[in-house]
Amino acid sequence: MTRSVLSLASLLLCLAAFPAHSVATAAGPALPAQVEKINQAIEQGWADYEIRPAKEVDDLTWCRRVHLDIIGRIPTATELDQFASTRGVDKRSKLIDKLLHDDQYTEEYANHWATVWTNLLIGRSGGNDRRDLTSRDGMQKYLRDSFARNKPYNTMAFELVSATGGSKPGTPDFNGAVNFLINKVNDEKAVLAASSTSRIFLGQQVQCTQCHNHPFNQWKQQKFWEFNSFFRQTRALRKFVDGTRDIASAELVNEDFKGESNEPEDAVVFYELRNGLTKVAYPVFTDGTAIKVSGFVSDVNRREELGRLMLESEYLDKMIVNRMWSLFMGHGFTKPIDDLGPHNPSSHPELLDALGKEFRQSSYDLKQLITWITLSKPYNLAPVLGGNNKIDDPSIGEMPKFSRFYLRQMSAEQLYQSLVTATKATAAGSYEEQEQQRRRWLQQFVVAFGTDEGDEATTFNGSIPQALMLFNGELTKNATDTKTGGFIDRIYKGGKSPTDRVTDLFMSGLARRPTTKEIGIARQLLMARKGNEKEMMQDLWWAIINSNEFIMQH
């Protein structure tokens, strides 16, 4: 109702100002062609399955959603207010634009995406051990700089795969990009470097084919070792802190590879079939393109060649599109998202393909890709599983139809950032101090699986340790503190009436006004607290941040 009135008003304005312009804006602002493409493909799916999508999500919930997804935290009450008072049918596109391009958000945008990619490239524990070659600081610094400058994605991929230099900020020849591979090349013939690179950047799961031909994967053992051969000129060098095994500094270098038969002009890799036969492999890319067989770096730099071949591969495009789509929509076009082989069906194969091509044509501008996804119809739906889209439930194994916004939990990092930034729950400090504090907090949720591949899981997954942390943890204690100048104190001194202030709490945490029932609860709490309003607010804020509505991205 409100929306149609608004649209009409803006249409009139629009017509008055630009009488010659198209009337198409009556249905909403003109959308980039890529968004139309997404909408058409997704709507076609709804028609095919005879489902009706959820309604469009309300403005404030959407505002919270897009803040969490783009800059990694919920909006403050002020940001919500500003958005609520923005006029025009293009208010959503304006907010996307602001979060992506306004200088005030550059740092948060860069930090958020650096966090996402650090976890992806070196895991949640990479670099946390003093004996680890990886420098988490170095990885984050490289990524923060890259996202702050909106470095094209293909450049980033190339740099991460081909980097040489020092791992730690401040060391000579520092190049943070080396941290992706520095702990993956020395052991086991760089098996981990090969499997991580192909999985993360190309969506090719090859780890099984190291030992045998995969039963239902097109990759064969031969292909694994050919791909692996690209990493065999690479070494990680280390310097220890005197008298310990702690890593002082590390460096990733390319060295001549003499091959496993000691002939650098013909630098070969051997591997063994399950029947005991030995076979040979040279660097050959997944599409069959071979490079020179020499192991001399002066003849051919194998990782740079790999980087170049990757940039030509359509799988590079599809993988990043699928990844970004799933980060925003809660599900990718495939499951798992980083397995794009023909054995693994995709929910919308043509759309995945088309978006990959569009992204390439946009010069790999991640901010454009984000704009297309967040403006698209499916991203703007309510998180409601209703009678008309009941079958759209990926949690029971259905292919996603994107007819609603799928509920999902915030990441531990998003929760932390939301409480810290929105409620200033920790003391300020330098970037480094804050980062150390954040890292310590995050570490409590990481559980390792004890493999050489550094596999890990998180207990920030909706289970009891997470609930205990939110009930009783330090972060909650700080967020609900009533001390002067704190979040609750500021709200307490702000609003006109107790009801106003209760509304402020709900807006800050849940981006909505309280219901009548919730106001009733607040009133009861106030009585129970014998009229101490600050304590009532403390109780209420505790309840808000412990709720499903707070912890869910919705």
Partner 1 sequence: MISTWQTPAGMSRRHFMNHLAGSSAVVGASALMGGSIQAHAETLRKNRKSAILLWMGGGPPTIDLWDLKPGAPTGGEFNPISTTGDMQICEHLPQVAQQMKHLSIVRSMSTREADHNRGRYYMHTGYVPNPNIEHPSYGSVLSHELMSQRPELEIPPFVSIGGASAGPGFLGMAWAPFSVTSNGRIRNLDMRLDDRRLLQRMAALQTIESGFAAKTRDTPASEHAKVLDKTLALMTSDQMKAFKVDEEPQAVKERYGTTGFGQGCLLARRLVEAGVPFIEVDLGGWDLHQNVHATLKNTKLPELDKAMSALVEDLAQRELIDDTVVMWMGEFGRTPRINANAGRDHWARSWSCVVGGGGIKGGIAVGDTGRDGTAVESEPFSSEDLMTTVCKGLGISTETTFTSKNGRPMKIAGGGKLISELVS
Minimum separation from the CB atom of position 346 to partner 1 (A): 11
The C-alpha torsion from 409 through 364 and 359 to 343, rounded to 10°, is: -70
Query: Is residue 467 part of the contact set for partner 1 (CB under 8 A)?
Result: yes
Distance between the two ends of the chain, CA-based, in angstroms?
Answer: 22
- Cβ closest to partner 1, residue 163 vs residue 510: 510
Say how far apart CA 189 and CA 197 lie, in whole Å. Answer: 14
Binding mask 486-525 for partner 1 (x = CB under 8 A): ------------------------x----x-xx--xx-xx
Window of 24-32, 125-133, 367-375, 467-475 that interacts with partner 1 by CB under 8 A: 467-475
Identify which of residues 16 and 396 has a Cβ nearer to partner 1 in the complex. Answer: 396
Among 97, 265, 312, 455, binds partner 1 (CB under 8 A): 455
Query: Does residue 540 interact with partner 1 by CB under 8 A?
Result: yes
Q: To the nearest whole angstrom, how small is the minimum distance from the Cβ of residue 102 to partner 1?
A: 31
Nearer to partner 1 (CB atom), residue 210 or residue 417? 210
Question: Which parts of 336-375 interact with partner 1 (CB under 8 A)?
Answer: 336, 344
Options 126-134, 308-316, 353-361, 542-550: segment touching partner 1 (CB under 8 A): 542-550
Which two three-digit tokens encode residue 540? 């209420």
On whether the CB atoms of residues 353 and 186 are closer than 8 A, the answer is: no
Q: State both tokens at 21.
A: 């312009």
- Give the footprint of partner 1 on residues 168-197 (CB under 8 A): 187-188
Residues 253-272 that bind partner 1 (CB under 8 A): 272
Pick the closest to residue 64 from 486, 539, 422 (CA basis).
Answer: 422
Question: DSSP H helical segments within 344-450, as ranges?
Answer: 349-361, 366-375, 412-417, 423, 431-443
Within 114-133, the residues that bind partner 1 by CB under 8 A are none
Q: Which residue from 353, 323, 317, 350 is spatially nearest to 335, judged by alpha carbons?
A: 323
Looking at the Cβ atoms of 6 and 211, the one nearer to partner 1 is 211
Interface residue with partner 1, options 175, 222, 437, 459 (CB under 8 A): 459
Position among 264, 465, 495, 498 found at the interface with partner 1 (CB under 8 A): 465
Contact by Cβ (8 Å): 80, 507: yes
Gyration radius of the chain's alpha carbons: 26
Q: H-type helices in 136-240, by residue range?
A: 136-148, 153-162, 191-202, 221-229
Which among 286-294, 356-364, 449-457, 492-500 is the span making contact with partner 1, rule CB under 8 A?
A: 449-457
**Which range in 281-289, 317-325, 379-387, 432-440 contacts partner 1 by CB under 8 A?**
379-387
Choice between 289 and 515, CB closer to partner 1: 515
Q: State the minimum distance, in angstroms, from the CB of residue 309 to partner 1.
A: 25
Q: Report residue 91 as tokens.
A: 């208010």
Nearer to partner 1, 235 or 408 (CB): 408
Within residues 403-422, the interface with partner 1 by CB under 8 A covers: 406-409
Q: Which stretch binds partner 1 (CB under 8 A): 79-87, 96-104, 373-381, 539-547?
A: 539-547
Exposure class string for 308-337: b at 16+ Cβ within 10 A, else e: bbbbebebbbbbbbbbbbbbbbbbbbbbeb
DSSP string of 421-443?
A: IIH--S----HHHHHHHHHHHHH
Which one, 2 or 275, has the nearer CB to partner 1? 275
Taking the complex as a whole, the smallest distance from the CB of residue 270 to partner 1 amounts, in Å, to 9
Left (φ > 0), alpha (ψ -120 to 50) or beta: where does 83 sit? alpha
Q: Any bridge partners for residue 247, and if so which?
A: 240
Residues in the chain: 554
Cβ within 8 Å of residue 33, ≥6 positions away:
none
Our finding on whether 207 is near partner 1 (CB under 8 A) is: yes
- Residue 75: half-sphere exposure toward Cβ, Cα within 13 Å: 27
218 binds partner 1 (CB under 8 A): no
Q: Toward partner 1, which CB reaches closer, 430 or 472?
A: 472
Nearest approach in angstroms of CB 545 to partner 1 is: 10
- Spatial CA neighbour of 163 closest among 249, 252, 283: 252
Return the closest-CA partner of residue 73 out of 410, 334, 377. Answer: 410
With CB under 8 A as the contact rule, the residue among 396, 428, 430, 497 that binds partner 1 is 396
Q: How far apart are CA 396 and CA 475, in angstroms?
A: 34
Nearer to partner 1, 242 or 452 (CB): 452
Interface pick for partner 1 out of 472, 484, 485, 530 (rule CB under 8 A):
472
Q: Where does this chain touch partner 1 (CB under 8 A) — which range of 94-102, 320-328, 365-373, 456-464? A: 456-464
| Choice from 218, 361, 395, 443 touching partner 1 (CB under 8 A) | 395
The residue from 58, 457, 494, 532 that contacts partner 1 (CB under 8 A) is 457
Q: Residues with Cβ < 8 Å from 155, sequence gap 6 or more?
A: 364
Which residue, 12 or 467, is less far from partner 1 as judged by CB? Answer: 467
- Judged by beta carbon, residue 30 or residue 519, the one nearer partner 1 is 519
DSSP labels, 460-489: TTTSHHHHHHHHH-HHHHHHT---TTSHHH
Q: Output the smallest distance, CB 215 to partner 1, in A.
A: 7
Closer CB to partner 1, residue 106 or residue 459? 459
Query: Binding residue for partner 1 (CB under 8 A) from 451, 496, 497, 531?
Result: 451
